[in-house]
Structure 1
Amino acid sequence: MKITVITQDQLIVVDGKPAFMGDIGGFEMSRGEWAINYDTVTGVGHIEYTDNRPNQKIYTADFDNSYSWLLDEHQRYLTETAIKEAAEEEARNEQPEEDPILDSGDTGGGGSV
């Protein structure tokens, strides 16, 4: 799995699927992380900071201990978005269908000459 997190943009991307966390309340990184990139296959990634600290390499234990909660946040976004989309679809399906004859603008009064 390839994971990219950009704090300022409130974005978590897992295997190309974005989660726009600002839409559901956002997330906070408390140690000055600007971005995190991590690959679960290789077990290697890095952290970029908002200040002048150099990028820091991370490994599986680092990610699991400090950043695995970001995967839960990504899933929370996907779940909440799916629930919202299902509710919107249900609301659209509950709308009465329009009668094409009544909605055509034809009042039935005949045309002008």
Structure 2
Amino acid sequence: VSIVRGALTLAGKIGDPVNPPAEGGKASGAIRAEQIRLAGDAAQLSKLDCVLAGTVTDTIFEGERMVYEVACAAIGDEVIRVFDHDPAAHTQFDIGESVFLGWNARDMLVFQ
């Protein structure tokens, strides 16, 4: 199953088999924030099913993790929240910085 937003198609799996989204109807997607990967270069996410460009709009340090809010133009500047549970091992990004988000189709649930 997939969600179409303009020219973009986002693959996922049905979140509620009892009430699946109708083909061509409205649908919403949900991805657990810890399943989303963040990188400064799209090539670092090339093994993932979906990769979107975005801009960091907020960063929050929560002790053991960083939380990033990223606006993605491809989905109407909707903001996606990403948890980085190992910030010491990863590049840290600043507000206004261009980044890429990625996830696998199996991690996005599609609801009616």
Q: When the two structures are superposed, what TM-score results if normalisation uses the length of structure 1?
A: 0.25
Q: Which has the higher contact order (CA 8 A, sep 6+)?
A: 2
Question: Which structure shows the bigger proportion of residues in helix conformation?
Answer: 1
Question: Which structure shows the bigger proportion of residues in strand conformation?
Answer: 2
Select the structure of larger CA radius of gyration: 1
